Chain A
């Protein structure tokens, strides 16, 4: 462990740490442009020059590893002059268009020039002009502003696994671009906007919409997949202006997917802002809250309690779910399900439905088997972690299922689920690999276990995990990859069929046999609404999507940016989002709607404030008390029955950019579908009596 002195302070750091990192540990700030803690070192901007004793020239601290006895000075006349010189060179070709630049106010070059630059330029010739590039529907380019730090190139190559960006030409003529001008094909491309230290890459949807100092910042949690990325919601007034990632090394490391970042414009379209009720002509008509509740009470009092079912959707917070669960229990109905896609996990112990390895744990793995999953679309940040491990250690990844480009080499076993049984019997090369690996992990996709033979698949998985030692000490290589943000929370809460209760798969049958006459959909849109049509449907949610279209009564709820909610991510990490803006119109926070309805139905739920709902949550499951840490589940045996079918696995997500009511109504996501995936134009849901709007 070398010891060195930086600005007269002694520090001992680990081998391989750079001077810049050591200075950071001491709280000494060194300005940088090309250095980024999550990317490889380029050392080309020269902004981080510092003085080192016995060196005649200043050194680039980002690229210099520490060594014993080094003496570094960061505040000397030489360093000051070096920084001024570097900035003067960088600004030679940088346009002075800060007043019309979206980066203004949050620009590294602006800030660093203010802090370290000189007061004028000696350059009186024309600046170079660089043509702007076309990077697709998400990234706006202004390449005159580019300072060639190459962060975007390194991000695309190293993190996103889409080596499409490069630096072409040399010297003063160097330009950043793509080989063939096209949209960048990565689900993480938006992160380039964040890492660009200047205004060369900015957000296209946010282009000229706002200034950073006008925005209120709310720290929150993402709900577009089950990863639960840490995000920051920037809002102005009642409008969400943009979504940015927060650095959280245990989950998203400071990256977010493009859907998380850009689907927020879907929050502005086709929102439910007041209650609706279907009239006798079969049309949805606006009604007041009281009328809506009265209609519900009127219908439900003629229906026995155990003839009412509740299904909760993929973006629902735990507060709403616990309220609905309590209401259903009070009514006397055991028919509850939070698994609208019909997956079979949840009946067993907690370890049977978690991503037990944890996201950070992926980096430790030395063998990975993917079953019926496309992590690139189902959880782009989990895919990025697998890729990170592949880059660092050459992690062998083996896949059983559909062929998708994941951004790292994958050994395909084909698409026959029966291979799993051969692996279990030790008759397949993977058996030996699993046995030989020290930290093996298996990831089973949510779509795989929603198949008819899901229980059998889960059972085989369990036996493989048990037989090949996937679980020992604190290593657990058994993983279920959910795609729904509310799924693990719902299972932890027990929003599941009670004794004699019908799950999602049996509900349509139960409706046809008149065992179920009313269905309460809490943000549940990914269902076959045709199967529910003979029941009285109450839909509570935030978008006029599939559920509202089929409903008899529509209750307007709040989207994830409009309420403080609790979610449990795929690892079993309980997280809380915060309210950034108010729900539109008469829409209300979801648990409050259910609480109000309970009173009308005569089963008053015993909580009146958010705090009381959360106390109730902790009563139901003490896990919900501990926030932000992974609460690992002990490995407990479980089993299920069935026979694995030979039907091939199918892709769970057909279109990454449109998976839920919010992203389906996002114009940005529609553009991505068309320009990146080459899909057909998106048709918004027709308004009442109107023509479908084609965008």
Chain B
């Protein structure tokens, strides 16, 4: 077996993914199979190592019987589909207001400096791609970063750089809050919470 094709000139779903497609298509009523375009793109993107090459878009539109240009419209609309290759770890730093207030700008700066790349670029070793993204829905544990499918929350400059180093070193990393918070529970136990200053809630 030779090396896997790098440019994905001809894309073919793997055997396991073909079985998954069968299941996915069954979720939609007869004649509405075109709706499966998002899960199928996702499947293709995973198979291709994090990006969606044109041949994969072609393959999916062929399976669903929609025109190529419709597939391309969908793929360019959703920012979670990467139309250029990404590194092994796709670092997506949330830059929306809550994360920004909690220091995402710093995270972005140190990350780019540490890895020596600009936004949207991939490191030479092919390990990291950095992007700023819109709200990833983890505001409560801001600032948050999504790396591939996992969220890393409550980050500081230091914990974030350690995380990147661990990834580089191939160490096991633990997703979730960096400060050990369970889910989005408050950091302090409830009874130690400070009473609200200035009276009852709603007094403003």
Say whether A165 contacts B76, CB under 8 Å. no
Digitize A142-177: 1 where CB-to-B-CB distance is under 8 Å, 0 elsewhere: 000000000000000100000111111110000000
Can you show 20 pairs from A to B with CB atoms below 8 A apart?
Answer: A157-B67, A163-B69, A163-B70, A164-B69, A165-B69, A166-B70, A166-B72, A166-B73, A167-B73, A168-B72, A168-B73, A168-B76, A169-B76, A169-B77, A170-B76, A170-B77, A170-B79, A179-B68, A179-B69, A179-B72
Give the complex CA separation of A170 and B68 in angstroms.
18
Give the complex CA separation of A167 and B75 in angstroms.
11
Which residues of the partner chain A approach B79 to less than 8 Å between Cβ atoms?
170
Chain A residue nearest to B57 in the complex (CB): A179
A178 within 8 A of B: yes
User: Least Cβ distance of B86 to chain A in Å?
Assistant: 18
Which residues of the partner chain A approach B76 to less than 8 Å between Cβ atoms?
168-170
Digitize B86-119: 1 where CB-to-A-CB distance is under 8 Å, 0 elsewhere: 0000000000000000000000000000000000
Which residues of the partner chain B approach A166 to less than 8 Å between Cβ atoms?
69-70, 72-73
Say whether B73 contacts A163, CB under 8 Å. no
Say whether A163 contacts B72, CB under 8 Å. no
Question: Using a CB-CB cutoff of 8 Å, which residues 108-138 of chain B contact chain A?
Answer: none
Enumerate the 4 nearest inter-chain pairs by beta-carbon distance, A residue then B residue, closest first. Answer: A166-B69, A163-B67, A168-B76, A166-B73
Give the complex CA separation of A163 and B34 in angstroms.
15
User: Least Cβ distance of B30 to chain A in Å?
Assistant: 15
Give the complex CA separation of A167 and B67 in angstroms.
13
Give the complex CA separation of A163 and B68 in angstroms.
8
Give the complex CA separation of A246 and B130 in angstroms.
54
Question: Using a CB-CB cutoff of 8 Å, which residues 43-75 of chain B contact chain A?
Answer: 67-70, 72-73
User: Least Cβ distance of A149 to chain B in Å?
Assistant: 16
Question: Using a CB-CB cutoff of 8 Å, which residues 607-650 of chain A contact chain B?
Answer: none
Give the complex CA separation of A197 and B77 in angstroms.
24
Task: Output the residue of B69, B76, B79 with the most chain A CB within 10 A.
Answer: B69
Interface size on B, residues (CB 8 A): 9
User: Least Cβ distance of B129 to chain A in Å?
Assistant: 19
Chain B residue nearest to A163 in the complex (CB): B67
Which residues of the partner chain A approach B70 to less than 8 Å between Cβ atoms?
163, 166
B residues lining the A interface (CB < 8 Å): 67-70, 72-73, 76-77, 79
Which residues of the partner chain B approach A170 to less than 8 Å between Cβ atoms?
76-77, 79
Give the complex CA separation of A179 and B77 in angstroms.
14
Digitize A38-61: 1 where CB-to-B-CB distance is under 8 Å, 0 elsewhere: 000000000000000000000000
Which residues of the partner chain A approach B67 to less than 8 Å between Cβ atoms?
157, 163-164
User: Least Cβ distance of B35 to chain A in Å?
Assistant: 17
User: Least Cβ distance of B40 to chain A in Å?
Assistant: 17
Give the complex CA separation of A164 and B72 in angstroms.
11
Chain B residue nearest to A170 in the complex (CB): B77
User: Least Cβ distance of B79 to chain A in Å?
Assistant: 8
Which residues of the partner chain B approach A163 to less than 8 Å between Cβ atoms?
67, 69-70
Chain A residue nearest to B72 in the complex (CB): A179
Which residues of the partner chain B approach A168 to less than 8 Å between Cβ atoms?
72-73, 76-77
* Known pairs A166-B73, A168-B77 / 16 extra A-B pairs, C-beta < 8 Å: A157-B67, A163-B67, A163-B69, A163-B70, A164-B67, A164-B69, A166-B70, A166-B72, A168-B73, A169-B76, A170-B76, A170-B77, A170-B79, A179-B68, A179-B69, A179-B72
Give the complex CA separation of A178 and B72 in angstroms.
9
Give the complex CA separation of A169 and B67 in angstroms.
17
Which residues of the partner chain B approach A169 to less than 8 Å between Cβ atoms?
76-77
Which residues of the partner chain B approach A167 to less than 8 Å between Cβ atoms?
73
Which residues of the partner chain B approach A179 to less than 8 Å between Cβ atoms?
68-69, 72
Give the complex CA separation of A166 and B57 in angstroms.
14
Chain B residue nearest to A169 in the complex (CB): B76
Which residues of the partner chain A approach B68 to less than 8 Å between Cβ atoms?
179
User: Least Cβ distance of A562 to chain B in Å?
Assistant: 42
Give the complex CA separation of A163 and B73 in angstroms.
12
Give the complex CA separation of A157 and B68 in angstroms.
12
Which residues of the partner chain A approach B69 to less than 8 Å between Cβ atoms?
163-166, 178-179
Which residues of the partner chain B approach A157 to less than 8 Å between Cβ atoms?
67
Give the complex CA separation of A179 and B72 in angstroms.
7
Give the complex CA separation of A165 and B73 in angstroms.
10
User: Least Cβ distance of A135 to chain B in Å?
Assistant: 13
Give the complex CA separation of A619 and B32 in angstroms.
60
Chain B residue nearest to A156 in the complex (CB): B69
Question: Using a CB-CB cutoff of 8 Å, which residues 110-169 of chain A contact chain B?
Answer: 157, 163-169
Give the complex CA separation of A164 and B76 in angstroms.
15
User: Least Cβ distance of A544 to chain B in Å?
Assistant: 43
Which residues of the partner chain B approach A164 to less than 8 Å between Cβ atoms?
67, 69
User: Least Cβ distance of B191 to chain A in Å?
Assistant: 46
User: Least Cβ distance of B6 to chain A in Å?
Assistant: 21
Task: Output the residue of A157, A165, A166, A178 with the most chain B CB within 10 A.
Answer: A166
Give the complex CA separation of A554 and B70 in angstroms.
54
User: Least Cβ distance of A695 to chain B in Å?
Assistant: 32
User: Least Cβ distance of B114 to chain A in Å?
Assistant: 29
Question: Using a CB-CB cutoff of 8 Å, which residues 347-373 of chain A contact chain B?
Answer: none
Give the complex CA separation of A164 and B68 in angstroms.
8
User: Least Cβ distance of B146 to chain A in Å?
Assistant: 19
Chain B residue nearest to A162 in the complex (CB): B67
User: Least Cβ distance of B23 to chain A in Å?
Assistant: 28
User: Least Cβ distance of B164 to chain A in Å?
Assistant: 29
Give the complex CA separation of A189 and B147 in angstroms.
45
Task: Output the residue of A164, A168, A169 with the most chain B CB within 10 A.
Answer: A168
Question: Using a CB-CB cutoff of 8 Å, which residues 190-229 of chain A contact chain B?
Answer: none
User: Least Cβ distance of B167 to chain A in Å?
Assistant: 30
Which residues of the partner chain A approach B72 to less than 8 Å between Cβ atoms?
166, 168, 179
Give the complex CA separation of A167 and B69 in angstroms.
9
User: Least Cβ distance of B55 to chain A in Å?
Assistant: 12
Give the complex CA separation of A32 and B72 in angstroms.
28
Give the complex CA separation of A178 and B69 in angstroms.
7
Which residues of the partner chain B approach A178 to less than 8 Å between Cβ atoms?
69
Chain A residue nearest to B58 in the complex (CB): A179
Give the complex CA separation of A179 and B70 in angstroms.
9
Give the complex CA separation of A157 and B73 in angstroms.
13
User: Least Cβ distance of A153 to chain B in Å?
Assistant: 8
User: Least Cβ distance of A476 to chain B in Å?
Assistant: 34
Give the complex CA separation of A178 and B67 in angstroms.
12
Give the complex CA separation of A168 and B79 in angstroms.
12
Chain A residue nearest to B76 in the complex (CB): A168
Digitize A54-78: 1 where CB-to-B-CB distance is under 8 Å, 0 elsewhere: 0000000000000000000000000
Give the complex CA separation of A168 and B67 in angstroms.
14
Give the complex CA separation of A157 and B76 in angstroms.
19
Give the complex CA separation of A165 and B70 in angstroms.
9
